[in-house]
Amino acid sequence: MVGSVADNFSLKDQEGNIFNLYKNLDENILLIFYPKDDPPVST
């Protein structure tokens, strides 16, 4: 939801570098969640 606080997470970016949400809070960040293609059930 807009304005909600997200839990911290780390993952590899497209270049293999580790991205950590809370270490990048000095930047504007837009989180988009997208289901995998052709899921058996969509909501």
* 9 Cβ contact list (under 8 Å, min separation 6): 20, 21
| pLDDT for 42 | 59
In a domain, 2, yes or no: no
For 15, the domain range is: 7-43
| pLDDT for 18 | 97
Quote the number of domains for the chain.
Answer: 1
In a domain, 42, yes or no: yes
Counting Cα atoms < 13 Å in the Cβ hemisphere of 30 gives 2
1-43 pLDDT per residue, tens: 777 888 999 999 899 999 999 999 999 988 887 777 766 765 5
In a domain, 19, yes or no: yes
| pLDDT for 12 | 94
